[in-house]
Amino acid sequence: MKKADVELGAVVNAKSEEELKKQFQGTVEKIYENSALLAITSFDDVDASAVSDLNYKLVVNFKNMKPARSAKKAKPLSTNNVTIEKVAPTMKSDDKDKKAPAKKSK
């Protein structure tokens, strides 16, 4: 690819000359003169350890990038799925004094 073809936020397929063994997919975060900083979004299982060591980011030369189509046999980057649930309100210490009197047994 050429610098003019690269845009921020674009998803590209790339290969690393040294760090990773297989091709990976990433999102362009910053553009430099001859390269771009990519946030690695999907990669092969073989490179899982190396990608983790790189903190899921890598600078790649434009000549080692091409527009992304779809990642084949790639491990998608997992995201943290956070769910929020409503919790029943609990009694405050002031409310404990106000609770209804207990029924007396005969």
First to last CA, the chain: 89
- What CATH number does the domain containing 46 carry? 2.30.30.140
pLDDT for the residue numbered 89: 75
The parent domain of residue 33 ranges over 3-68
Report residue 83 as tokens: 């769910």
Count CB-CB contacts under 10 A for residue 43: 24
Residue 85 domain-assigned? no
DSSP per position, the chain: --GGG--TT-EEEE--SSS-SS-EEEEEEEE-SSEEEEEEEEE-GGGHHHHHHTTTEEEEEGGGEEE----SS-EEPP---------PPPPPHHHHHTSPPPPPP-
Residue 93 domain-assigned? no
- What average pLDDT does the chain have? 81
Residue 52 domain-assigned? yes
Residue 75 domain-assigned? no
Q: What is the pLDDT of residues 39-88, one digit of tens each?
A: 999 999 999 999 999 999 999 999 999 988 754 555 555 556 666 777 77
Residue 12 near residue 26 (C-beta atoms within 8 A): yes
Q: What is the pLDDT of residues 53-65, one digit of tens each?
A: 999 999 999 999 9
Task: Provide the domain count of the chain.
Answer: 1
- The whole-model pTM stands at 0.62
Report residue 82 as tokens: 């956070």
